[in-house]
Amino acid sequence: MLKLDQVSKEFSAPEGPVRAVEDVSLQVKGGELAAVHGPSGCGKTTLLLMAGALLRPTNGVVYVDGLNVYASSSEQRAEMRADRIGFVFQRFHLVPYLSVLENIMVPSMSRNDEYVQERAEELIEKLNLEHRRMHQPSALSTGERQRTVIARALLNRPHLLLADEPTGNLDERNAEIVLSTMADFAENGGAVLTVSHDPRATRYAGQMFGMEEGRLQEEVEVQETRGPA
């Protein structure tokens, strides 16, 4: 589903070029959940943005479903993001004047899809948001907002789910809901790449990597995707 081949990203700075990600290679197949663990500022989010067709690498190649992402046009990349990739951002990016149901349905509002509300309702039930269905984001707790974001990311049944610090501000109960939902997505054939400094995320990972100063470290541990130990 996702393959990064010797991917690097360099940014310009007054003191000279800064390399945020350096020569990273990894592969996440359908049915796998991979976690990249590391401190803030180590390049995790930059890596995720490149994987999600949102940030062109300085060097290297990104493949999603076997397609060379950055050999495609900007229109093709936008279509890829809409059809194949679900994003869970660290900042929720919820529309403040829309309800939970409407926020979840945002990715499909421009499509003529008669089943979109049915899928949204199923996700609301799965993520225990029924009592918040018609509430706006300002009335939600942090955990409820994150669960809404997860539902929105899964609405179009993507092939690849990318999650940036999905549990960083959550209590144990809400972190469990979010992580188990991502694990279920992987167990049903999706590919998941999550980046986090929260060690709870690694408990569900089939592949686990460390990242430091833009470099992906040797694989820390390999285990079957599962819940908390």
Q: What is the pLDDT of residues 60-83, one digit of tens each?
A: 999 999 999 999 999 999 999 988
pLDDT of residue 184: 94
Q: What is the pLDDT of residues 118-140, one digit of tens each?
A: 999 999 999 999 999 999 999 99
**Which residue do the tokens 């990104």 mark?**
62
Structure pTM?
0.89
How far is Cα 36 from Cα 16, in angstroms, rounded to an integer?
27
Kind and range of the H or E run holding 105: helix 100-105
Please compute the mean of the pLDDT values over residues 212-219 and round it to a whole number: 82
Parallel, antiparallel, or unpaired for β 207-212 and 33-37?
Answer: parallel
| Domains, the chain, with CATH or none | 2-95+159-222 (3.40.50.300)
Task: Please enumerate, as own/partner, the contacts of 73-78 that have beta carbons within 8 Å and a separation of 24 or more.
Answer: 77/53
Which of 216, 187, 219 is CA-nearest to residue 204?
Answer: 187
